[in-house]
Each structure stands twice: as C-alpha cells, then as structure tokens.
Amino acid sequence: MPLPAARTPLSELSPTIALGALDGRYRGAVAPLVDHLSEAALNRARLHVEVEWLLHLVGHQVVPGAPSLSAEEQESLRAVVTDFDAAAIEELRAIEAETVHDVKAVEYFLRRRLTQVLATDGDDTSRADALGELVHFACTSEDVNNTSYALMVQGAVTQVWLPRATALVDQLSTMARDLADVPLLAHTHGQPATPTTMGKELAVLAWRLRRQLRRVEGAAYLGKLNGATGTYGAHVVAVPGADWQQVSRSFVEHLGLTWNPLTTQIESHDWQAELYADVARFHRILHNLATDMWTYISMGYFAQVRGQGTVGSSTMPHKVNPIRFENAEANLEVSNALLDVLATTLVTSRLQRDLTDSSMQRNIGTALGHGLLALDNVSRGLAGLDAVPEAMARDLDANWEVLAEPVQSVMRALAARGVEGMTNPYERLKELTRGRRIGQAELVEFVRGLGLPSEEEERLVALTPAGYTGIAADLVDHLGQA
C-alpha cells in the first residue's frame, strides 16, 4: 500500500531536516565548503568586497574632500567581516526581507556598522553620513558579486578541494611505488594481454591526475569593477579627475584577483568555465581509477580486509562490497554533470546582462561538494585495500599464451638480421595460441622447435609471464617528476 496520507510533515520539524544528501547524510565530508560556498559565505564575501572598496576609495583619496578613516576605524570595519556570525546572518536576512535585493541588503547592513564604528559620545553623524555615501559607490551589484564569487571559488578550490585532491594523488603515488614490482596480467579489450605491474598501472592514473592538478593550480581568478555596463559611466561623471581604470585594477588586484579590463555588466565567467572543465577532467580520470579498482577487487587482486566491523552485505555475511568506489563513481557523475552545465552556461549572457548566471552560480558548492565527497570515498577505499600478489600470479601462470608476443618479436629481429627459418613468426604463433590456452610445456616445446640461435632459445625458454613486464617497475620512477 502507498504511504499514508496523514503523517507527520517532516518539513515542519526542528531542527530543519536537510533536503539534499550533502547537507544531510554526507555533511561531515563536505562541511569545509560551507565556509566558502554557502549563501552565508556569499554574503560575507560581499561584505568583504564592500568594506575593501570603501577603504580603497578613502585610502587612495579617490573622491576629493571625502573624510578619512583612522587605522583603528579601518580595523574595526574589517572586523565586521571577520566577526560575521549567526546574529549578523539573521540581521542581514531581515534587511533583505525589506529590500528584496540581496546586494542592497549588504550595503544597508554595512552602513549600519559604519555608523556604529564612527559613533562617539557627543559627536554628530555627519562623517558617518558622508562616508556612508561611499559604500557601494558607483557600483552595480555585479561589481560586488563577481569579485565575491571569484574569492569564494578561489578559497574553496585552493584551501579545500586542491589539498584533498593532492593528498589523494600522493596516496595513490605511494601505493604505485609500493607495488611497482608486483607483476600483473594486463587486459586490453577485456582479454589477457602483455603483462605489466600493478604499480605501473596505478602510476599511469597518478600521473594523469597530477597533470590536471597542475592545471587547476595555475587557474586565474578574474574580477572586474567598472559599473553597470562596463564603461565606468557613473565613475567618470561623479569624479572626472580620477584614473578609474587604475583605481579598478589596483582594487581587484588588492583582493588577490586578476583584473579583467573588458566586460559587459558582468565579468564574463570564462575563467570559471576553464576551471570547472579542468576539475571535471580530474574527476573523470578519478572515475576511471574507481572503476579500475572495482574491477581489480572483483578479480581478487585486492582484498578489502580492513575495518572488519563493517557490514558488507545485509544478507550475505561473506561479502565486503567495494562501496567506497561505487559511491565515488556516483558522486563524480553528479559533480561533473553540474560542472559541465556551469561551464557551458556561464560563458553566455544575453547582450549586456541577464540573470541566468545568478541562479547557476549558487550550484557551485553542490558541484564541488559531490566531488569532495568522491575524493573522500576514493581515499578511504584505497586505504582499505591490501594487494594480493598470489591472485595476480595465478592469472599470469594461467596465461602463457601472452608470451607469443616476445617469441614472435625475437623471431622478427632475427629475420631482419638475415637468420634463416624465422619467416612468418606472427602467423606461426597465431596458430599455436589463438583461441586456446597453452601452458609452459607447450610453449617450451614450440620454442625448442623453431631453430633459434641457442642464446635466444634459452632466453625465451627461461621467460615466464610474471617475468615479462619489460621496464614497468622502472617507469613508476616518473612519478617523482610529476
């Protein structure tokens, strides 16, 4: 039967129940992003930009005759940002309920705080009123929003996502080095292929991931402050003597951002599209790692032996499911779906401005949150694995036919040197090996009958699948250069 119609409305319970998994079940794994990409973090960043813009105008005497601020007063204004707390969030919410405009609410909030900072016994409010007119001076909302988002994303990526991603790649690199010499039967197209080592295969993924980290580390975070349509129209009319491009550039760079000199009302967000594409590419390679590890576990090459108190299956006691890697796959797919739509939509704005980016950018935290959750799961998954070299060795020993490649390669090299009887090596090995398994005895018998020079014959007779890994172990050393 369906759920009963008369039931306790969960939406009315207190404390509030989260609608999404990130703010509910997985809150612990993604909580650090709240400090950077939540709605409260956005308002705090807006407040930071507004305070710094006021201090920039006053400190550089951009508006002639405007009052100055003492060092102590400047410190007090900056404390409005650092002390932004639950009470401030609630006050700002109440202001926005009246203004029905989020950025205007921040402006009014800061004006209140400015009045409090400048208030002294017996002093009139003229200085506070005068300086209050420089709060949000000549700004359009997007001047505040674009710099706020740039600072928020910069903080989230460099302080949260990148350290976690780097730690994961370091963890994988260590694992690759530890398993550099462990022989592994490779599989191409799902079929047994030239042996490698487990360490080398993990190193391939670590190398790929490290390249993407370097791209993310080199990201530029752009900002602009140039008015309603990017022309400095209000700025020039209000204070015609100021070098407004220099004022704008120095302010944006003071925030720790890269100045964008040419925009419409909005900063074009191209840097965001570039960054999200790089993060998504890292995620896709990580997805490849998750599916490979899942497969290796299913083949018995890794044992999930740690954390024995956990339940693997609700009905089958023998099972330990690779849930960390499966959870990572799902969250990487959700994250990349959001990163992709952010990257494709944010680069377009109708004429000089539309508001699609405003709603879209509120999903940045969700996009990175699912990625962060995946990083956590892959790291935990890797930490819970032990390699099983014996299982890898069994598969190698069951597939002697993979040595058809070195035998025919030696024959080709001999034929090229003019040695008689080495013709058609590929076809001869194909007849021996294709579509069937052979063992050591069959291969040795075949090699002995080829008429090879004795040195080459003995070298091939001594070769085993586990010994046919080329320089795979040495290739892991390239991780030190990544």
User: CB within 8 A of 319, min separation 6: which ones?
Assistant: 312, 313
- If you ran DSSP here, which 8-state letter would residue 386 be given? E
DSSP 151-192: HHHHHHIIIIIHHHHHHHHHHHHHHHHHTTT-EEEEEETTEE
Instruction: Mark 332-346 as b/e (b = at least 16 C-beta within 10 Å).
Output: bebbbebbeebbebb
CA distance from start to end of the chain: 58
Q: Tell me the helices (H) and strands (E) count for the chain, helix number first.
A: 22, 6
Tell me, rounded to whole angstroms, the distance of Cα 393 from its chain centroid. 36
- Vertex 30, ends 29 and 31: CA angle to 5°? 105
User: Is 189 one of the annotated active-site residues of the chain?
Assistant: yes
CA–CA separation, 104 vs 396, rounded Å? 69
Closest CA to 22 of 286, 315, 373: 373
User: What's the one-letter identity of residue 352?
Assistant: Q
Q: Count the residues in the chain.
A: 482
Taking the CB of residue 329, how many other CB atoms lie within 10 A of it? 19
Q: Where are the alpha helices (DSSP H) in 299-322?
A: none
Query: Which pair of structure tokens corresponds to residue 432?
Result: 């021996």
- C-alpha distances in Å from residue 211, one per residue of 169, 218, 219, 479: 11, 11, 13, 11
The overall longest dimension of the chain from CA atoms, in Å, is: 111
Q: Which of 126, 250, 313, 409 is catalytic?
A: 313
Query: Which pair of structure tokens corresponds to residue 183?
Result: 């022989």
Given a contact cutoff of 8 angstroms between Cβ atoms, the answer to whether 429 and 449 are in contact is no
CA–CA separation, 449 vs 322, rounded Å? 47
User: Is 313 one of the annotated active-site residues of the chain?
Assistant: yes
Q: Which of 189, 314, 318, 359 is catalytic?
A: 189
User: CB within 8 A of 92, min separation 6: which ones?
Assistant: 43, 105, 106, 109
CA–CA separation, 151 vs 257, rounded Å? 8
User: What's the one-letter identity of residue 428?
Assistant: R
Query: Which pair of structure tokens corresponds to residue 182?
Result: 């462990």
Given a contact cutoff of 8 angstroms between Cβ atoms, the answer to whether 114 and 105 are in contact is no
Given a contact cutoff of 8 angstroms between Cβ atoms, the answer to whether 472 and 196 are in contact is yes
Given a contact cutoff of 8 angstroms between Cβ atoms, the answer to whether 185 and 392 are in contact is yes
Where in the sequence numbering do the catalytic residues fall? 189, 313
